[in-house]
Structure 1
Amino acid sequence: MSGSKISELRLDHVSRGFGEVLALDGLDLTIEGGEFVALLGPSGCGKSTALNCLAGLLPLTGGSITLDERRIDTLPPEQRGFGMVFQNYALFPHMSVRANIGFGLKMAKVGKAEAQRRVDEAVRLVQLGDHAAKFPGQLSGGQQQRVAIARAIVLEPALVLMDEPLSNLDAKLRLEMRTEIRRIHQTLGLTTVYVTHDQEEALSLADRLVLLREGKVQQVGPPETVYTEPANRFVAGFMGYRNELELPVSSVADKTVVLGDLTGTRREDLGETAVAAIRPEDFTVGDGPNAMEVDVEVVEFQGREQAIQARTAGGDELHLRVQARLAPGDRVTVSVPPERVLVFAADSPAAPEEVA
Structure 2
Amino acid sequence: MDRQVVKLAEETLARYRELNDELSEPDIYSDQKRYAEVAREHARLKRGADMCETLLSSIQEEKEARELMPSADSTEEREFYAAEAEAAEERVTDLTERVRLELIDRDPNDDKDIILEIRAGTGGDEAAIWAGELYEMYVRYAERLGFKHRMLSSSEAESGGFKEVSVEISGDGAYSVYKHEGGPHRVQRVPKTESQGRIHTSTATVAVLPAAESVDVALNQSDVEMDTYRSSGPGGQSVNTTDSAVRLTHKPTGVVVTCQNEKSQLQNKEQAMRILRSRLLEREQAEQREKEGELRQAQAGTAERSSKVRTYNFPQGRITDHRVNVTSHNLEATLGGDLEDFTRALAAQERSEKLSTGDETHQGNGAGA
> Given the two structures, how large is their TM-score scaled by the length of structure 1?
0.23
Q: Which has the higher contact order (CA 8 A, sep 6+)?
A: 1
Higher-helix-fraction structure? 2
Structure of greater Rg = 2
Which has a greater percent of strand? 1
